[in-house]
Amino acid sequence: MTEDKIFMIIGTLFNSIRGEFELVDLKINQDDKGCFAIYILADKPQGGITLDDCTSLNKAFTKIFEKREINCAVSVSSPGVDRPLKTSNDFSRVLPGVKIKFLLKEKVNGETEYIGTLKTICLDKVIINTNNEYEFIYFDNIIKAVQIL
């Protein structure tokens, strides 16, 4: 069994439940004995995955891997609110009214650090409200973005 095959199996399951759950991140490690440790971060398209949801996904993946006799340990969890925001899907899960802190590669209006409330997401940028002014933050200019709770 290869990591590529495991990626394919996980991708196939997430494709079959598209709209219900999304794959946020995936890490696979293999030890010297060929056992895989599979770490899956999943969420609902609009956020709000529950512990019961993670448990159900974990059981589904474990059952699939057992049927295929793949020696592995599976862990499914939520991304958590402190996880850095990277993609438009990540930003779409931010609850209205929550502030986001941005660290930028290049200055926008003389600043490389912004704190603002997410207003909308476009194809290549987010629009935030900072003190009743709107700023455009392009995804390719973001070093790091995190929610402020």
Asked whether residue 5 carries a pLDDT value surpassing 90, the answer given is no
The neighbouring-strand residues paired with 137 are 126
Q: Are residues 70 and 96 in the same domain?
A: no
pLDDT number for residue 1: 65
Distance CA 24, CA 68 (A): 24
Distance CA 124, CA 39 (A): 29
Domain boundary among 77, 104, 121: 77
| In a domain? residue 82 | no
**Predicted model pTM:** 0.69
* Mean of all residue pLDDT scores within the chain: 89
Structural domain tally of the chain?
2
pLDDT number for residue 34: 82
- Mean pLDDT, to the nearest integer, of 119-146? 91
Dihedral, 5, 6, 12, 15 alpha carbons, nearest 10: -130
What is the span of the domain harbouring residue 113? 88-148
- Percent with pLDDT over 70 in the chain: 99
Domain boundary among 50, 77, 104: 77
Q: Are residues 94 and 68 in the same domain?
A: no
Q: What residues contact residue 52 under an 8 Å CB cut-off, 6+ apart?
A: none
| In a domain? residue 70 | yes
Comparing 89 with 115, which gets the higher pLDDT?
115
Look up the CATH number of the domain holding residue 61.
Answer: 3.30.300.70
Tens-place pLDDT, residues 114-130: 999 999 888 889 999 99
